[in-house]
Amino acid sequence: MATQTIAAAINPWHVAQQQFDLAAVHLNLSPGLRKVLREPKRELTVHFPVKMDDGTVEVFTGYRVQHNLSRGPAKGGIRYHQDVTLDEVKALAMWMTWKCAVVGIPFGGGKGGVRVDPKKLSLREVEGLTRRFTTEISILIAPDRDIPAPDVNTNAQTMAWMMDTYSMNVGYTAPAVVTGKPVALGGSEGRTEATGRGVVYSIVEAARHLDMDLGKCRVAVQGFGNVGGVSARLIAAEGATVVGLSDWMGAIYRPQGLDVDAVLAWVQEHRTVMGFPGAREITNGELLELDCDILIPAALETQITAANAGKIRARMIAEAANGPTTPEADEILHKNGRFVIPDILCNAGGVTVSYFEWVQDLERDFWNIGHVNEKLREVMTKAFASTLEMSLKQEVSMRTAAYMLAVQRVADATSVRGLYP
């Protein structure tokens, strides 16, 4: 698939460092701080055995990276994907540091991943892999140290297994060690939908700023998993017309609009959007270039590159995925007047409600869905407003503005703590 070839050729860690360097220049950050913030604090690689259903043993490779812990414990998801690399996890951990800072929640950045295609494993094998991986990284994770959450190909069930494994190992129940858990285990109401909901809150703010009427907007969404699925459903609920949807198998297009709920039901049954009746099948590359007003990349990194950025027709790009745009593509989009809501702002709803979940677990006091969503809206709109203000004041893109806000906050925390010893 074209998108996978592009993604494989670009190293997300180099992208993350380039984005940081640009912000460091704008902020005139001292050389010492630049060196500290440019590298992760810790990188753990584990190779661990899992007994497969046929009795054989497979060895898998996994990672947990903590980027910067100046503002609080590490926070970040666990990804299961056949293309996971240490560099990808490092980039995702660094992005988490900035994301937590831009929305003002007291966490540092972390991320984890296992190199595996979970679609090829049985449920029991995925459980075995999750439990052993949790044990391997338990030298890092703890409720006040490093708190994982779901990401690509992991979900509330994965988090339940992680929480149970950690709790078995320490000898008591520790709900706050992961977020994104089922509500029955101390998960938060609204967490499953939080990332997509936050994406749509930020689109609503951007549309207000750009004077775009969502009722007249056509939307394309790349990736139809947790984040893409919820974003598509909620943007349709705002009155927009969803014309394109995709997953790893390919994309579907219907200029008159797709019934998102019907596509979700189709995917439940067929495990892909492909074959959805009444829609034209196109490639993921074509989906990005569709004639639409809002593009929501919600799959993987480095999908919008110098090769296709010039062909993107959407006026607004809402980065639901982490790192979907390369720095070269960013420049082209900026030059072409596209309004990009950068990932560290756009998809911060997930980690924000993860923070709410962690607080609820620690306090043993649980909130209702209305309270969760209202507080989420508050955090997202405030962060959007501060980023927009910075962008207009400094005459920089929304990404540079979000980085300037975030990096400054992390730099302040890092320098005021001082250099130990």
DSSP secondary structure letters along 353-418: HHHHHHHHHHHT----HHHHHHHHHHHHHHHHHHHHHHHHHHT--HHHHHHHHHHHHHHHHHHHH-
Q: 10 Å Cβ neighbour count for 109?
A: 29
Q: If binding is defined by CB under 6 A, does position 164 make contact with ligand NAD? A: no
Residue 99 known to be catalytic? no
Site for ligand NAD, residues 33 to 92, rule: CB under 6 A: none
- Each residue 268-307 as x (binds ligand NAD by CB under 6 A) or -, in order, gives ----------------x-------------xxx-------
Which residues in 44-72 are b (16+ Cβ under 10 Å) and which e?
Answer: bebebebeeeeeeeeebbbbbbbbbbbbb
Residue from 50, 152, 212, 295 that binds ligand NAD (CB under 6 A)? 152
- Rounded-to-5 percentages of helix, strand, coil across the chain: 50, 15, 30
Q: Smallest gap, in angstroms, from Cβ of residue 179 to ligand NAD?
A: 9
Tokens of 139: 């030298």
Contact between 153 and ligand NAD (CB under 6 A)?
Answer: yes
Q: Which stretch binds ligand NAD (CB under 6 A): 236-244, 258-266, 314-322, 397-405?
A: 314-322
Residue type, 371: H
| Least separation in angstroms between CB 113 and ligand NAD | 10
Query: Minimum distance between the CB of residue 154 and ligand NAD, rounded to whole angstroms?
Result: 8
Each residue 391-410 as x (binds ligand NAD by CB under 6 A) or -, in order, gives --------------------
* Stretch of 226-234, 360-368, 396-404, 405-413 contacting ligand NAD, by CB under 6 A: 226-234
Nearest position to ligand NAD, beta carbon: 225
- By CB under 6 A, is residue 109 in contact with ligand NAD? no
Residue type, 251: A
Contacting ligand NAD (CB under 6 A), which of 19, 66, 134, 195? 195
Q: How far apart are CA 404 and CA 415, in angstroms?
A: 16
111: left (phi over 0), alpha (psi -120 to 50) or beta: beta
Question: SS3 letters for 345-371?
Answer: HHCCHHHHHHHHHHHHHHHCCCCCHHH
Q: Least distance from C-beta 354 to ligand NAD, angstroms?
A: 8
Q: In the window 236-275, what residues touch ligand NAD (CB under 6 A)? A: 246-248
Q: Which of 146, 151, 293, 357: binder of ligand NAD (CB under 6 A)?
A: 151
Contact with ligand NAD (CB under 6 A) among 70, 202, 322, 414: 322
Q: How many residues does the chain have?
A: 421
Asked whether the bond before 421 is cis by omega within 30 degrees of 0, the reply is yes
Q: Just list the catalytic residues.
A: 111
Q: Which chain residues interact with ligand NAD by CB under 6 A?
A: 1, 3-4, 150-153, 195, 222-228, 246-248, 284, 298-300, 320-322, 347, 350
